[in-house]
Amino acid sequence: MQVRDYLLRRLALLPLIMLGVSIVVFTLTRFTGSPVGIYASPNMTPDQVAALEARYLLDEPIPVQYIAWLGGLFRGDFGWSGVSVAPVTDVIWVKIAATLELALAAGAIAIFVGIAIGTIAGVRQNKWPDHSARLFSILGASTPTFWFGLLLLVPFYLWLNWFPLGRATPDIYDSVTHLTGMYTLDALLNANPVAFVDALRHIVLPATVLAFGAMATIVRMMRSSMVETMSEEYVDAARAKGLPESVVVKRHARRNALVPTSTVIGLSFGFLLQGAVAVELIFRWPGLGQWVSSAILAGDQATIMAYVLVTAFIFMTVNLAVDVAYAYLDRRVVLGG
Amino acid sequence: MITTPSGTPSAPRARRRIIPAVAGAAALTLLVSACGGATQTGTNSGDELRNAGVIVHHQNGEPRSLDPARTEQGEKGEAFIDNVYERLVDVGPDGPDLIPSLATEVPTVENGLVTEDRLTYTFPLREGVVFHDGTEFTADDVVYSWERVMTMNLPEGQASVLVDSVESLRAVDEFTFEVTIQEPDASFLYSVVLNTVASVVSPDAVESNGGVEADAPNEWMDANMVGTGPYRFGEWNRGQSLTMVINEDYWGEPAKAEVRWDITPEESSRVIALQAGDADIIDISPSNVDDLDGVDGVSISAEGLLLEPIHLGFNMRADELPSGDTIPSDFFADKRIRQAFSHAFDYETYIASFLDGYGARYSAYIPQGVFGYDETAPVYEYDLERAAELMEETTYWDEGFTVSVLVQAGEPEFEGVALLMKDGIEKVNPNFRVNVVNQAETQFDDNLGEDPVPYALWVKNADPGADPHQFFDPYQHPDGDWGAKHGMRDAYEDPDLIAELIDAGKSTVDPDERAEIYAELQRILHDDPMWVYAAQEGLAYPYRSWLDGFTVNPLWRGPHYEYYSKPTG
């Protein structure tokens, strides 16, 4: 199948999957109780609470409520976010931009560093770089994000003040027009180097912490597939042709080893979104993760549902992109097969 | 607590903040190996002044609304409103006494501003006060502001405070405001005039941004403020920060430093931000305050107690109970059982561990720091033998029981009460079981909003108040908010006497007489307890020592920044 056809088929499936996700998330959140509490206060009389329930159709059966909610989604109405005291659609774009910026930065670090370390480890199998890489990936996989974040904050923020908390220094933030909500990008679009450096200083630490876990997976995968490809006959053939070792590793072995790794990269983006919850809390990064954690504590269902839908969408889109990249990396792959 | 390079705590009190200590040691190792030797280790970067001239307060949450007509009691918005909007009267940095604010005098019967029947209050108003939008403040604006709240009548806000009290409002002349109330109320000035809902807003600003609509919120007012206070509203960067700007045209002494609220939900991060010097004041749970004791450049203000006592509620008409609960619906109508529960709670451990020593006992039912609190009133001692004796007199001693206690998730101070209650009761008799049920805030509120509450026990704190009636009426009156819901009338030994005394407390103006009434109530309600009176949380704020004049009156809803100053460089 052509890449184009495959892409079209996957894109056609996307709304169906989203519909499925929406049914599951709606039903499950409703099982935790009525969302009327987000509007009600303990001082209200039962009549006032009943009036609120009627106003938001919460006295109707769940399927009716679902249809009403779904209808709202189509009109661009995701409901009222109790924790933000604003319609979900008013705040969600800012949160998405914040989390995406963080996840993309973390993803970039994880991919580049992970592939580099994995490659070296695979080439130098059972030598000290390999052992250190394995130790590194065990640490990455087993260190709780929450703890690792605090661990880095003490020297790099408290003692050295290289990387501050938050997303930007308020005065510098105000000097920039925010077109995308991604501060590093906004600073570049404004051609404002001061703001760019400021945004970088704020993003380095949280992105590194977030990247650590994903990086570990990438290192392990890259290392083992490098070990495998380095023993393939075509690598020997390339060497026999007299190609320099660096060319053998980079052109022949690494490119093929990247194929299985790219799948892991797609999946680890899910871990990045998940890990963002803890990282955003610690580094006071006002993204989706921080938003949903306060929503969960508050039982704010509209926010929780919007969060699940958005992350599901991002996750599926990234994986689609990875699958397409897969076909590019390995021409033998027949998509949709 | 500062950690030295080796991770050894420098102060002997170091106990709980293990993370920075371990983190310090581990991170240091990383640093040394990565950079070939770190240079500034062990010295907090926070010794140099940061954010010169701006007081940065790291908050654990964000306001839900900045509209006095809509904020819930105890919510973040109230603390912000206190600095931007003003009321007719206020309390200063010291003591509980009322001081004039937009009014030039505090009305009393003696100065003739309260009528003999104690129904009509006259407030002479300050002239020359200007709203932040430049319009002049007059008596009509007070009438407008109060009527606005009553018209909007938002159930999530505190409109009922005005609706239930005010009979009529009137602007006598340009600078005289008069209010007539429905019945004599000794707590009127504290519970109504000092309340957030009685804040004076600019009618011009409201009218040009949505006006006033009955039973509906005004979204513009949720996120904008035009008042008369020492601070003007700056900006609200959702999820990140809110700012206050000095009002240079303030009628009183102008504020000395700008203010920024940074929203930092994670407590460890707030603690680190304070140590680094980026935060000047932080919100903190009492159990973590000690960790900052002795840190260079950090002071701790631990004066006073929050006027929101933490209690465990008994429901005497728990008609619907969670599955697994074996008690009858009127289980707690038996006074001996309520007394036994009161004896089975380890108050000292609660204060020492869950509040880290920042807390105190209160009596039934009035917190320390509020008029009428009787130091000699009896309180329950943790006494499991006495609890066993009381329970032995009932039929449950042999058959045992299971009961669930409802608590809001993510509130360690409340969870602690539930856990210690469980611990105590289960020690009294192995046949007794207490299940702790954690619920998210909305579900918790939803359950408490039901009538009857579908749980027999639950933990929360009282709404803050400045007058004893604000505690006795909703929490102890047999026909009050909780009294009616919990069936207190059927459970009290002498409900009529209690109702009579509480009503008399409201209408009695003579302070000595009033104090006597409340002293008697504290004795009766100790013997016939409707709550486990767990403890009052201490009011503890760690702050950077470079702030001058930092103090927080427990009657305030948060810091009043106008009293503090910070070096400008």
Q: How confident is chain B (569 residues) per 10-residue block, as mean pLDDT?
A: 36 40 44 37 65 95 92 90 97 90 95 94 97 97 98 89 96 97 92 95 96 91 96 91 96 96 93 94 88 90 89 92 92 96 97 91 92 94 96 94 93 93 96 94 83 92 89 95 93 96 91 95 96 93 94 91 94
Rg (CA), chain A: 24
**How far is A227 from chain B, CA to nearest CA, in Å?**
28
Cβ contact, residue pair B20, A154, below 8 Å: yes
- How far CA B183 is from CA of B98, B409, B483, in Å, comes to 21, 40, 21
Cα(B59)–Cα(B267) distance, integer angstroms: 9
The structural architecture, per CATH, of the domain B310-538 is Roll (3.10)
What lies within 8 Å, CB to CB, of B86 at 6+ separation is: B101, B102, B199, B200, B227, B228, B229
Q: Which of residues 17-36 of A touch B (CB under 8 A)?
A: 32-36
What lies within 8 Å, CB to CB, of B5 at 6+ separation is: B24, B28, B41, B42
- How far CA B525 is from CA of B472, B475, B494, in Å, comes to 10, 11, 10
pLDDT at B345: 97
* Backbone torsions φ then ψ of A266, nearest 5 degrees: -60, -45
Cβ contact, residue pair B273, A165, below 8 Å: yes
Burial degree of A334 (CB within 10 A; 0-12, 13-18, 19+): exposed
pLDDT at B4: 35
* Backbone torsions φ then ψ of A38, nearest 5 degrees: -70, -25
- Residue identified by tokens 């107690």 is B305
Cα(B48)–Cα(A290) distance, integer angstroms: 30
User: What residue segments make up the domains of chain A, in order of their start?
Assistant: 16-77, 87-329
3-state secondary structure of A79: coil
H/E run at residue B442: helix B441-449
Cα(B340)–Cα(B380) distance, integer angstroms: 10
CB atoms within 10 A of CB A227: 18
**Chain B residues inside the 8 Å CB shell of A301:** 442
Cα(A52)–Cα(B156) distance, integer angstroms: 11
From B104, B102, B69, B106, select the one nearest B86 (Cα to Cα): B102
Please say whether the beta carbons of B461 and B310 come within 8 A: yes
**How far is B321 from chain A, CA to nearest CA, in Å?**
16
Alpha-helical (H) ranges within B261-374 are 267-276, 335-343, 347-349
**How far is B218 from chain A, CA to nearest CA, in Å?**
12
Cα(A168)–Cα(A186) distance, integer angstroms: 12
Instruction: Quote ipTM for the complex.
Output: 0.82
Q: Sheet containing B457-461: give its strands across.
A: B359-360, B531-537, B310-314, B457-461, B401-408, B432-439
Cβ contact, residue pair A281, B155, below 8 Å: no
Question: Does any CB of chain B come closer than 8 Å to the CB of residue A282?
Answer: yes
Going by the DSSP 8-state scheme, the letter that residue B9 receives in this structure is B
Choose among B40, B441, B448: nearest Cβ to A160.
B40
From A65, A320, A87, A108, select the one nearest A215 (Cα to Cα): A108
Cα(B23)–Cα(B14) distance, integer angstroms: 15
| Structure tokens, B379 | 């309180």
- DSSP for B79-125 reads HHHHHHSB-SEEE-SSSS-EEESSBSS---TTTTSB-TTS-EEEEEB
Q: How many percent of chain A have pLDDT more than 90?
A: 35
Cα(B488)–Cα(B365) distance, integer angstroms: 14
Question: Does any CB of chain B come closer than 8 Å to the CB of residue A299?
Answer: yes
Please say whether the beta carbons of A36 and A53 come within 8 A: yes
Looking at domain A87-329, what is its CATH homologous superfamily?
A: MetI-like (1.10.3720.10)
**Chain A residues inside the 8 Å CB shell of B297:** none
**Chain B residues inside the 8 Å CB shell of A159:** 40-45
How are beta strands B231-237 and B241-246 bridged, if at all?
A: antiparallel
Alpha carbon A311 to chain centroid, angstroms: 8
pLDDT at A250: 82
Please say whether the beta carbons of A145 and B266 come within 8 A: no
Residue A296: closest CA among chain B residues belongs to which residue?
Answer: B440
Over residues A55-72, the mean pLDDT reads 87
Counting one residue from chain A and one from chain B, the pairs whose CB atoms sit within 8 A come to 167
For the cut 90, the answer to whether the pLDDT of residue A22 exceeds it is yes
- How far CA B278 is from CA of A13, A130, B43, B217, B270, in Å, comes to 49, 41, 15, 36, 9
* Backbone torsions φ then ψ of A42, nearest 5 degrees: -60, -20
pLDDT at B565: 96
Cβ contact, residue pair B443, A37, below 8 Å: yes
Question: Does any CB of chain B come closer than 8 Å to the CB of residue A126?
Answer: no
User: What residue segments make up the domains of chain B, in order of their start?
Assistant: 68-221, 310-538
Cα(B233)–Cα(B260) distance, integer angstroms: 11
Please say whether the beta carbons of B448 and B458 come within 8 A: yes
| Chain A contact probe: residue of B266, B315, B415, B482 with most A CBs at under 10 A | B266
Please say whether the beta carbons of B304 and B550 come within 8 A: no
| Structure tokens, B80 | 């912000």
For the cut 80, the answer to whether the pLDDT of residue A331 exceeds it is no
pLDDT at B33: 40
For the cut 80, the answer to whether the pLDDT of residue A152 exceeds it is yes
Burial B117-138, CB ≥16 within 10 A → b, else e: ebbbbbbbbbeebebbeeeebb
Cβ contact, residue pair A299, B448, below 8 Å: no
| Structure tokens, B213 | 């609509």
Q: Which residues pair with A92 in a beta bridge?
A: none
Please say whether the beta carbons of B468 and B518 come within 8 A: yes
- What is the maximal distance between C-alpha atoms in chain B? 81
Question: Does any CB of chain B come closer than 8 Å to the CB of residue A188?
Answer: no
| Structure tokens, B391 | 């329970």
Burial B47-85, CB ≥16 within 10 A → b, else e: eeebbeebbbbbbeebbbbbbbbbbbbebbbbbbbbbbb
Q: Does the domain made of B68-221 have the CATH classification 3.40.50.2300?
A: no
* Backbone torsions φ then ψ of B173, nearest 5 degrees: -145, -170
- What is the maximal distance between C-alpha atoms in chain A? 86
Choose among B45, B243, B263: nearest Cβ to A158.
B45
pLDDT at B7: 35
- Residue identified by tokens 């000035």 is B189
What lies within 8 Å, CB to CB, of B418 at 6+ separation is: B312, B405, B407, B434, B436, B457, B459
Cβ contact, residue pair B23, A282, below 8 Å: no
pLDDT at B45: 60
Per 3-state DSSP, what percentage of chain A is helix, strand, and coil (rounded to 5)?
A: 75, 0, 20
| pTM of the full structure | 0.84
From B426, B434, B424, B432, select the one nearest B399 (Cα to Cα): B432
